[in-house]
C-alpha cells in the first residue's frame, strides 16, 4: 500500500476529467487523475461518442458507395456489423495516444483503478492486480461518467438483448430490431441501423421525439425517420422483455407485442457513483445515481465537485469538458466563469444531423419575447444540390426589434458544424450580436454556410 498527497484529485479521465485536470495543472496545482480503465479517455473515447460516431461515418460511406452508379458488390463483399464497428479502432487508438500526452506534458499522474472515499480528503484506489493506493487531496472533482441504465427485470445476459455499450460487440447484422427509448441515443442508433436496411421499431415512452428541441426540428426528424421506413410508437411502456432463441419479444403495457431479431435498450443512463462511498460523506444522489450539485458544480461537501454525465443533463461530451474547466476555475480562482456553461450547443448525430443553440420558439413564446423567424431550405442551396444532400434546413430566431440572435436550429448534413457560425455571433455582446452580420458578410459560394445569409434575408422580409 502506498500513500501520496496532491492538491487536486480528479476521478475520471473523460472530457470532464480532462478539462478539470488540465485547468488545475496549468494553474500550478499538483494533480492526480484516477480512472478505472487502463487507457485514458473515458467512456467518450472507448464505448460511447467516438466509437458510435466513427461507426456512423463508416455506415454513411458504405451506404453512399452502394448508390454509386455502376457499383455492384458481391454478397461476399458486404461487411458484417463487426467489420463496420472495427473501423473505429484506429480512431480510438489515436485519441488515446494524444490524450495520454496531455497528462504527461502537464505532469499529471494517472492512476488506474476504482476510487472510493475513505473520508472527505482521502480516497482508496483498488488497482486491477490487487494493490491499493491511498491518495489524499485538498479538493476533488468527480467526473466518473455514466453507463446505460439496466432495469432489474430485463435480462441483459441474453445474447439478443443489447445496450448502447454492448451493441458495439455485435458481429452479425440483424434483419429486424427493436430500439426501446427514443431519446438522443435511441434516435442516433435507430437511424444508423435503418440506413443499413434493418427493419426498425422505435419505442418512445413520451408523446414526441426529443421534446427539448424546437418543435419544427422535432417534426422534421420524425418525418424523415418515417420516410426512411422506421416505425415510431409513442406513449408506450414495456411490461416485460421475453428473450427467445430466435429473437426477442417486447410486451408493452398497452397490450401490444413486438418481435424482432434483437432488442437495443436505450432508455436512459446511470451515473457511475456506486461504490464510491459518497453516501457516507452525505453527498446526495438521485434515483439514477447522478450527483446533485449547485451552480458552481459543488456537491454538499464544498471541496468535492462533480461534472459531466454523472450530474445528469445535458450529458454531452462538449458540455462535460467545459463543466470540468468551469469547476476547476471555481476551485482554483474562486470565480464563476459562466460563459463556459451557457448556451452550450446540442449535437445529435441522427441521419441527418441535428444541432441547436439558444432558445426555441416554444420558450420565446412562453417568455413573451417578440421574435421573428428566418429559414433557409437546404434544397435551395447550390452546395447541397451538388452533394445531393438536400434534406434539411437552417432556422434563425431573432428579436424583431433589435435583430439580436436568440436561437439557431439546424437539421441536415453537417448540422453540428454549421451551427457554430451562429453560435459565434450569438456569443457577441451588445450590437455585435445581430442578424445583420449575415446580411453584410460575403460567404464563399457554393457553401452550406451561405444558408445563414439566405435565412437572414428570409427573416428580414418578415419584419415591418
DSSP structure string for 201-241: EEE-SSSSS-TTS-HHHHHHHHHHHHHTT-EEE-S--EEEE
- pLDDT number for residue 210: 96
Provide mean pLDDT across the span 403-426.
97
Beta strand residue intervals within 57-131, DSSP E: 109-112, 114-119, 122-126
CA distances from 218 to 77, 178, 385 (A): 37, 21, 24
- Annotated ligand binding at 171? The verdict is no
pLDDT in the model for residue 79: 87
Most confidently predicted of 25-39, 67-81, 331-345: 25-39
Q: Is 268 annotated as a binding residue?
A: yes
Residue 340 has pLDDT above 80, yes or no: no
Element (H, E) at 187: helix 184-195
Question: What is the tens place of the pLDDT at every residue in 395-407?
Answer: 999 999 999 999 9
**What per-residue confidence (pLDDT) applies to 67?**
73
pLDDT over threshold 90, residue 341: no
Strand 2-11 versus strand 31-35 pairing type: parallel
Q: Helical H runs in 67-160?
A: 81-85, 89-105
When pLDDT is cut at 50, 70 and 90, the band that residue 430 belongs to is very high
**Residue 109: what pLDDT?**
97
* pTM over 0.85, yes/no: yes
- Is 181 marked as a binding-site residue? yes
pLDDT, tens digit, 9 for 90 and up, residues 183-239: 999 999 999 999 999 999 999 999 999 999 999 999 999 999 999 999 999 999 999
Q: Is 347 one of the annotated binding-site residues? A: no
Tell me: is residue 396 an annotated ligand-binding position.
no
Element (H, E) at 269: strand 269-271
Going along the chain from its start, the domains and CATH numbers come out as 3-148+270-342 (3.50.50.60), 161-267 (3.50.50.60), 352-461 (3.30.390.30)
Cβ count within 10 A of residue 171: 9
Asked if residue 407 belongs to a known ligand binding site, the reply is: no
Answer whether residue 258 shows pLDDT above 70: yes
Is 9 labelled a binding residue? no
pLDDT at 71 (0 to 100): 64
Instruction: Check whether 185 is labelled as a binding-site residue.
Output: yes
CA-angle at 311, arms to 294 and 293, nearest 5°: 15
Mean of per-residue pLDDT scores for the chain: 95
Write down the pLDDT at residue 78: 75
Query: 287, 328 in Cβ contact below 8 A?
Result: no
Cα 160–chain centre separation: 25
What per-residue confidence (pLDDT) applies to 338?
83
Q: Which residues pair with 3 in a beta bridge?
A: 134
pLDDT of residue 343: 85
309 is in an annotated binding site: yes
What is the sign of the dihedral through the CA atoms of 394, 395, 401 and 402? negative
Cell of 272: 457511475
Determine if residue 53 is labeled as part of a ligand binding site.
yes
State the Cα–Cα distance between residues 1 and 5, nearest whole angstrom: 14
Cβ count within 10 A of residue 96: 18
Question: For 91-108, what is each residue's pLDDT tens digit?
Answer: 999 999 999 999 999 999
Alpha-carbon distance values, 260 to 35, 174, 263, 450 (Å): 37, 9, 7, 44
pLDDT value for 3: 85
| pLDDT tier for residue 339 given thresholds of 50, 70 and 90 | confident
- The predicted-structure confidence for 53-81, as pLDDT tens digits, reads as follows 999 999 999 988 877 776 665 555 678 99
Amino acid at each position: 500500500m502506498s500513500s501520496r498527497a496532491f492538491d487536486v484529485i480528479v476521478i475520471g479521465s473523460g472530457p470532464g476529467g480532462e478539462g478539470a485536470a488540465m485547468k488545475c495543472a496549468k494553474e500550478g496545482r499538483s494533480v492526480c487523475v484516477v480512472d478505472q480503465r487502463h487507457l485514458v479517455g473515458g467512456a467518450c473515447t472507448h464505448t460511447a461518442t467516438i466509437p458510435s460516431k466513427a461507426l456512423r461515418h463508416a455506415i454513411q460511406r458504405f451506404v453512399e458507395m452502394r448508390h454509386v452508379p455502376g457499383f455492384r458488390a458481391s454478397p461476399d463483399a458486404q461487411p458484417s456489423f463487426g467489420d463496420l464497428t472495427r473501423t473505429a479502432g484506429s480512431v480510438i487508438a489515436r485519441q488515446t495516444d494524444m490524450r495520454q500526452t496531455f497528462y504527461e506534458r502537464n505532469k499529471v499522474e494517472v492512476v488506474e483503478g476504482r476510487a472510493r472515499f475513505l473520508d472527505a480528503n482521502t480516497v482508496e484506489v483498488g488497482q486491477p492486480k490487487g494493490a491499493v493506493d491511498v491518495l489524499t487531496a485538498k479538493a476533488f472533482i468527480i467526473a466518473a461518467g455514466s453507463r446505460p441504465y439496466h432495469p432489474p427485470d430485463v435480462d441483459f445476459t441474453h445474447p439478443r438483448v443489447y445496450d448502447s455499450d454492448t451493441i458495439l460487440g455485435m458481429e452479425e447484422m440483424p434483419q429486424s430490431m427493436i430500439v426501446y427509448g427514443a431519446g438522443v441515443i435511441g434516435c442516433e442508433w435507430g437511424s444508423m441501423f435503418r440506413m443499413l436496411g434493418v427493419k426498425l421499431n422505435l419505442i418512445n415512452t413520451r408523446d414526441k421525439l426529443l421534446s427539448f428541441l424546437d418543435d419544427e426540428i422535432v417534426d422534421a426528424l420524425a418525418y424523415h425517420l418515417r420516410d426512411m421506413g422506421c416505425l415510431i410508437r409513442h406513449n408506450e411502456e414495456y411490461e416485460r422483455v421475453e428473450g427467445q432463441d430466435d429473437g426477442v419479444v417486447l410486451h408493452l403495457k398497452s397490450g401490444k407485442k413486438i418481435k424482432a431479431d434483437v432488442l437495443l435498450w436505450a432508455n436512459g443512463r446511470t451515473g457511475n457513483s456506486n461504490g464510491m462511498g459518497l453516501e457516507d460523506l452525505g453527498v446526495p444522489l438521485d434515483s439514477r445515481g447522478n450527483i446533485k450539485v449547485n451552480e458552481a458544480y459543488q456537491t454538499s461537501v464544498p471541496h468535492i465537485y462533480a461534472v459531466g454525465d454523472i450530474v445528469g443533463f445535458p450529458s454531452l461530451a462538449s458540455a462535460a469538458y467545459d463543466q470540468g474547466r468551469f469547476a476547476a476555475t471555481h476551485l482554483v480562482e474562486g470565480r464563476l466563469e459562466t460563459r463556459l456553461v451557457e448556451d452550450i450547443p446540442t449535437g445529435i448525430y441522427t441521419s441527418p444531423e441535428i444541432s441547436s443553440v439558444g432558445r426555441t420558439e416554444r420558450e420565446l413564446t412562453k417568455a413573451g419575447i417578440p421574435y421573428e423567424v428566418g429559414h433557409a431550405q437546404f434544397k435551395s442551396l447550390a452546395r447541397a444540390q451538388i452533394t445531393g444532400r438536400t434534406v434539411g434546413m437552417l432556422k434563425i430566431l431573432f428579436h424583431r426589434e433589435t435583430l439580436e440572435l436568440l436561437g439557431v436550429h439546424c437539421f441536415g448534413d453537417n448540422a453540428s458544424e454549421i451551427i457554430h457560425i451562429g453560435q459565434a455571433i450569438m456569443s457577441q455582446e451588445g450590437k455585435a450580436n445581430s442578424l445583420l452580420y449575415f446580411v453584410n458578410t460575403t460567404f464563399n459560394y457554393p457553401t452550406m454556410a451561405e444558408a445563414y445569409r439566405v435565412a437572414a434575408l428570409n427573416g428580414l422580409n418578415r419584419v415591418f
